[in-house]
Structure 1
């Protein structure tokens, strides 16, 4: 009898433990901001056909950068009330996630329509607190690349800092851990491997290609090269 009673107690304990584990997993799977990514990329979204990740051409200034997510830090500084630093996990788990299909147009003559997922830049700036007089947001990359966009463009649009494309994590050649999704702007505005965001009052700031003659606005409705 004692053996039978003891065996029954052990079974009850194991069942309680299993229920506790399942409950914990359920909570983890429903944490705000956590997204389950597919093991393979999707090629369609809400009836829209998507390009492949393989459709992108490697054209960075120093080749793909390989950033360690465990040591990565995004710094937000400049004309802000509170300088911020975020780890990769903090950015992907703390802030709301957004998805949108956006086409990147490269000055080399090719384009790619991708489902991007990430956090809104304006949410990051809101937490840092933009100071009066600021008008420009400068994005810096791991490889020394940089480009800028007007603050009003960032605030008026849901501009993403993407960590995934076509429902898979960004590969290194596409900008892991984060690429700027500068919709309606030429590809040289789509900064990859973003490590720093500076809020500035210098609306004349010129990034890597802009300082070499490309137009600072970068809008796809006009030529990318400064003819004047």
Structure 2
């Protein structure tokens, strides 16, 4: 085998290894997603993307990325609409390990990667008087969170988990990572974000008796 051929083969091998490694670290930055999920991040063991239970209201939604649109509207200066590619290209990307706790009694710890909801709101421009952010899903589901909660924390709209693109059953193209809130606040298949002044807005499960607050330090049946 010629020397040039050996060099090419070695280069291909190096590229393949680098592609599979988690190179992004903390904070923002473009990340190449690996062909297989990671199960450890910075020394912390991660759950598998298969450890979830399917409990959505209408089953997994299969959203076409090429026709997907995310709308940001309501009490904003500029109503925004983004394609999937525009969201991936336009905004900084962040990653963090967050545990989802379901009211059914199970939990999963996942490395989430996505864009910050606050960055979307900053671009749209939140009007005075707004206090609530409502998230709508492709299956008709909805839930809300206080605007202050979004602004005080790096709340993600995730497109990847454990370094692989979200599967359809996990919310592709985007799932809200509502850390420190019960799982029913983690809206999957997000298609619209509405900025509102209705602090009493109740989403799908909240209108059926679940807590509107959704905080983990309170019962999910607490009507507050």
Task: Identify, as 1 or 2, the structure richer in helix.
Answer: 1
Q: CA deviation at 1:33?
A: 5.3
Mark the CA change 1:83 to 1:69 in structure 2 (over 3 Å): closer, same or farther. Answer: same
RMSD: 1.2
Equivalent residue for 1:94? 90
Equivalent residue for 1:215? 211
Separation (CA, whole Å) in 2 of partners of 1:208 and 1:106: 15
Equivalent residue for 2:155? 159
Indicate which of 182, 190, 205 corresponds to 2:186: 190
Name structure 2 gaps, 5 residues minimum.
1-27
SS in 2 for 1:122: helix
Indicate which of 69, 75, 95 corresponds to 1:73: 69
1:49 aligns with 2:65: no
Equivalent residue for 1:137? 133
Instruction: Report which of the two structures shows the higher radius of gyration computed on alpha carbons.
Output: 1
Structure 1 residues 146-193: Cα deviation after superposition (integer angstroms, max 9, x where no partner): 000000000000000000000000000000000000000000000000
Separation (CA, whole Å) in 1 of partners of 2:132 and 2:34: 36
Indicate which of 171, 177, 180 corresponds to 1:181: 177
Contact 1:33 1:93 (C-alpha < 8 Å) held by counterparts: no
Equivalent residue for 1:124? 120
Equivalent residue for 1:114? 110
Equivalent residue for 2:200? 204
Indicate which of 35, 42, 46 corresponds to 1:39: 35
Structure 1 residues 76-134: Cα deviation after superposition (integer angstroms, max 9, x where no partner): 00000000000001111110000000000000000000000000000000000000000
Contact 2:178 2:185 (C-alpha < 8 Å) held by counterparts: yes
Equivalent residue for 1:28? none
Name structure 1 gaps, 5 residues minimum.
1-31
* TM-score when normalising by structure 2: 0.86
* TM-score when normalising by structure 1: 0.85
Q: CA deviation at 1:227?
A: 6.7
Equivalent residue for 1:6? none
Q: CA deviation at 1:35?
A: 2.1
